[in-house]
């Protein structure tokens, strides 16, 4: 009996060690596959990642072993075949672990944050979610998942005995399993201290890539699923209302007073071009060295260039909300996917429609992806157009319609659209996998932007030729910056920094405005120029107004925010609670900048909870 009793503990121990080995070996593979994200990795880095990840690995192993513990405990009372009872369970669990891990590995290079519940925002349209990658990439990913699952299952099969536990033993021997359950509970909890296991349990470095590498992929996914959105409880740093208001003082004043006048009329036609991913790492007019955007640069030299504009967020769905509703970006939410919240937001299109503008939104992809179409309708666009409004032969890219066809259709629409009109265009060709029907630059990423730039130049020429340019203001802005080139992350300043250009026959003269601002300030600035009330745009400021006395900007990615003001910029890790990067221009104000950034997030989340 002693031998049988000990074998149960031994089997459980072997399963635990096998799971730990699997989770530990996953980490160097993750790091090797994504090594381009973080240069100069040393052997010490690999060892440190595996060491610091052990806590969450043991937590995840504890969760997986709950069912095996139950089966082993039951075997003291009932005759069972252990493989028949446990292999179906392990096949399901190991397949799930493989899916999460492989997906995390291959998607990290695109997103640069660990795979979590955010992925479900994009899985209602799987074809769109996979549009950034090739069919071969998807095939190899699926094969990797299946092979990994098979290897895992074979290992578990040989750990589990077939006949050893067919005979039940004396019931009182089962008591030996109780302390083991206690140890498993401690592992799952993350220790005996006050704190429990969480993602930051594996954080140890000022290099975010190393922290991400140390976090167990499966734990990260299940942790995010178990911590669903509660806006009222997130990012609540200050209990004292007076302290909160003091930190926010002067930042958000939406009133337009004696705004500088840029236009020749207060009712021009308006064409808003939202350029996918065109940040300062690409756009020459805001500092890029590449010759990818000659037409944009020329238009910036003819019109108004807002040369110190910072994007609000890191994804298109967030950027579009910031642009169209003058709203801030969230580190932990895509408001576009929450219709009951979006319907409470203000909208440029709605404000313009109320004063007689005809409004249209154009996108060459699937407009139902991330609820884009629903948001645009809620925002006030009377008509929306998408890939379904193009012929099948025009839908040649992975994302839908290449930009040349998109701009061509918009040209036809504008030609017959009653004035004044507000037409918004969301481009898509300058997006992974960067495949475009055009070749001017050798670098694939830059060439995709050169293609969209060429399409934009031809679109402008057509507007001029057809007489639509004279009474038009074209606004060109990016949804977010691009990290397609090596070395950039979502918190890189050349990614956060984006171009904002206003050009057209209705623009008085060329100017460069270097005032610090956010992408979300476009709404109030534009409406202020048109003499349209915009007080409901809570987080949008008219940067040309005399009330804009404290220029600031904030950018949020998945786990970070960067706060800018005249004293410099600080980037803060919301999970690790530490400053990641800091630039002081005047004195040393990094702590105050972080406090103001936290205050903005608290106000934003509280406002959202109340909507």
Judge if 332 and 200 occupy the same domain: no
> Quick one: 92 and 201 in the same domain?
yes
Contact status, residue 430 vs residue 293, Cβ threshold 8 Å: no
Residue 268 lies in a domain: yes
Clarify whether residues 405 and 275 are in a common domain.
Answer: yes
**Segment 50-66 mean pLDDT:** 95
Same domain, 451 and 523: yes
The enclosing H or E element of 561 equals: strand 560-565
Q: Is residue 131, in this structure, part of any structural domain at all?
A: yes
Q: Does residue 211 sit in the same domain as residue 302? A: no
What is the value of pTM for the model shown?
0.84
Q: Given a cut of 50, is residue 2 above it in pLDDT?
A: no
Question: Same domain for 56 and 165?
Answer: yes
Tens of pLDDT, residue by residue over 242-258, are 999 999 999 998 899 99
If pLDDT is split at 50, 70 and 90, which confidence band does 4 have? very low
pLDDT band at residue 484 using 50, 70 and 90 as cut-offs: low
- Same-domain check for residues 313 and 383: yes
Query: Cα separation of 103 and 598, whole Å?
Result: 32
Q: Are residues 133 and 282 in the same domain?
A: no
Question: Is there a single domain that holds both residue 74 and residue 168?
Answer: yes
pLDDT in tens, 336-376: 888 888 889 999 999 999 999 999 999 999 988 888 988 99
Whether the per-residue pLDDT at 62 is higher than 90: the answer is yes
C-alpha 150 chain-centroid distance: 32
Domain limit, last residue, from 510, 534, 558: 534
Range of the domain at 165: 2-226
Claim to verify: residue 306 and residue 388 sit in the same structural domain: yes
| DSSP percent split of the chain into helix, strand, coil, nearest 5 | 50, 10, 40
- Residue 5 has a pLDDT of 41
Residue 465 is assigned to a structural domain of this protein: yes
Tokens representing 47? Answer: 């060892």
Last residue of one domain, picked from the residues 534, 555, 585: 534
Answer whether residue 355 is part of any domain: yes
Best CA proximity match to 449, nearest among 431, 433, 475: 431
Judge if 311 and 399 occupy the same domain. yes
- Three-state SS annotation for 150-181: HHHHHHHHHHCCCCCCCCCCCHHHHHHHHHHH
380 lies in the same domain as 268: yes
Domain CATH number, residue 333: 3.40.720.10
Mean pLDDT along residues 526-537: 96
Record the tokens describing residue 86, joined without a space: 């446990």
Cα angle: 357, vertex 360, 361; to 5 degrees: 140
User: Does residue 308 form part of some domain?
Assistant: yes
Residue 488 placed within a domain: yes
3-class SS at 402?
coil
Domain-embedded: residue 568: no
Single out the residue of 598, 596, 564 nearest to residue 581, CA to CA: 564
- CA atoms of 358 and 416, how far apart (whole Å): 12
Q: Considering the domain boundaries, does residue 325 fall inside one?
A: yes
pLDDT digit string (tens) for 426-445? 999 999 889 999 999 999 99
Number of domains the chain is built from: 2
pLDDT at residue number 6? 46
Looking at 486, 513, 534, which one is the last position of a domain? 534
């Amino acid at each position: 009996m002693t031998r049988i009793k000990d074998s149960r503990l031994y089997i459980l121990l072997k399963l635990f060690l096998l799971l730990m080995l699997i989770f530990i070996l996953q980490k160097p593979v993750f790091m090797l596959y994504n090594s381009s994200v973080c240069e100069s990795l040393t052997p010490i880095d690999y060892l440190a990642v595996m060491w610091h990840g052990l806590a969450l690995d043991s937590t995840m192993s504890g969760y997986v072993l709950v069912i095996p513990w139950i089966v082993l405990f039951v075997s003291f009372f009932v005759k069972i075949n252990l493989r028949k009872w446990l292999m179906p369970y392990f096949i399901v669990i190991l397949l799930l672990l493989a899916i999460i891990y492989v997906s995390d590995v291959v998607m990290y290079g695109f997103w640069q944050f660990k795979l979590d519940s955010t992925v479900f925002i994009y899985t209602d349209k799987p074809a769109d979610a996979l549009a950034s990658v090739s069919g071969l990439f998807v095939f190899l990913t699926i094969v990797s998942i299946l092979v990994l699952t098979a290897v895992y299952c074979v290992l578990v099969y040989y750990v589990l005995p077939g006949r050893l536990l067919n005979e039940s033993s004396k019931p009182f021997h089962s008591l030996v399993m109780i302390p083991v359950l206690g140890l498993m509970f401690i592992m799952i909890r993350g220790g005996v201290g006050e704190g429990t296991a969480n993602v930051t349990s594996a954080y140890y470095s000022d290099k975010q890539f190393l922290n991400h590498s140390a976090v167990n992929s499966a734990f990260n996914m299940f942790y995010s699923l178990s911590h669903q959105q509660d806006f009222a409880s997130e990012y609540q740093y200050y209990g004292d209302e007076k302290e909160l208001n003091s930190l926010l003082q002067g930042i958000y004043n939406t009133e337009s007073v004696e705004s500088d006048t840029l236009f020749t009329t207060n009712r021009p036609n308006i064409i808003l071009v939202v350029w996918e991913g065109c940040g300062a790492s690409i756009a020459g007019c805001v500092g890029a060295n590449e010759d990818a955007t000659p037409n944009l640069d020329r238009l910036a030299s003819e019109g108004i260039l807002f040369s110190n504009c910072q994007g609000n967020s890191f994804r298109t769905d967030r950027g579009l909300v910031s642009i169209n509703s003058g709203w801030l970006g969230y580190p932990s939410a895509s408001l576009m996917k929450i219709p009951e919240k979006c319907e409470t937001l203000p909208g440029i299109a709605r404000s313009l429609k109320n004063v007689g503008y005809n409004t249209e939104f154009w996108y060459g992809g699937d407009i139902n992806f991330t609820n884009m179409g629903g948001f645009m309708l809620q925002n006030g666009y009377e008509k929306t157009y998408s890939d379904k409004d193009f012929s099948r032969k025009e839908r040649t890219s992975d994302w839908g319609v290449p930009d040349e066809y998109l701009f061509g259709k918009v040209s036809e629409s504008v030609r017959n659209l009653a004035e004044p009109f507000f037409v918004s265009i969301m481009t898509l060709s300058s997006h992974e996998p960067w495949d475009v029907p055009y070749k001017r630059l050798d670098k694939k990423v830059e060439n995709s932007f050169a293609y969209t730039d060429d399409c934009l130049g031809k679109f402008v020429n057509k507007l001029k030729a057809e007489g639509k340019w004279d009474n038009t203001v074209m606004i060109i802005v990016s949804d977010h910056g691009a990290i397609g080139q090596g070395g950039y992350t979502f918190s890189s300043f050349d990614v956060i920094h984006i171009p904002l250009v206003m050009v057209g026959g209705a623009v008085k003269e060329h100017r460069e405005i270097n005032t610090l601002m956010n992408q979300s300030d476009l709404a109030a600035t534009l409406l202020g120029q048109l003499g349209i009330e915009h007080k409901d745009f809570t987080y949008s400021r008219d940067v040309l107004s005399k009330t804009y006395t404290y220029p600031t900007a904030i950018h949020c990615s998945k786990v970070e925010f960067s706060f800018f003001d005249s004293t410099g910029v600080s980037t803060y890790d919301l999970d690790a609670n530490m400053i990641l990067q800091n630039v002081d221009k005047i004195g040393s104000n990094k702590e105050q900048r972080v406090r103001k950034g936290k205050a903005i997030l608290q106000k934003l989340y509280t406002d959202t909870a109340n909507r």
